Amino acid sequence: MSRRADESDELTSLLQALPAPEPSAELLAGARRRYLEAIEARDRRAVFTGLAAAVVGLVVIATLLTTTVEPAALIAWLAEAAADLARWAAGVGVVIDLVPPSIWTSVLLGSTVSVLSLVLIARARSLTLLK
């Protein structure tokens, strides 16, 4: 095992001893551009693969649901969920309309101050732990 490491070190030193001109700026720019394009293509493929897996998963779930649950019961459940959501949204609208804007402003400011104070406390604790 140590022999391979010695051969690798020897090869590295021989390669470094070879005289070679500096690569041109155009070559470096082109290599960087191709590298960034390859990274984008890899990320794009990963996104499309994830999207395809999600679609396949949804199709499998939908297939299992339709085979195990009556379609009429599924539609009734979806309708009930939509009605609950509409009732909840209407209730939120009523609360927003009934409470004056000055109260909403004070609640927002109070919430913001409390969150910022928690962030500052957490940051101070992390700084003391690092010391």
> Is the model's pTM score more than 0.95?
no
**Per-domain residue ranges for the chain?**
2-69
Mean pLDDT confidence for 36-61: 94
* Cα–Cα distance for residue pair 101/107, rounded to 1 Å: 10
12, burial (CB in 10 Å: exposed 0-12, middle 13-18, buried 19+): exposed
Statement: residue 1 has pLDDT above 70: no
Q: Which residue has the higher pLDDT, 85 or 128?
A: 85
Mean pLDDT confidence for 29-46: 94
- Tens-place pLDDT, residues 3-33: 566 677 888 888 888 887 888 889 989 999 9
DSSP state of 70: -
- In the prediction, which pLDDT does 14 show? 84
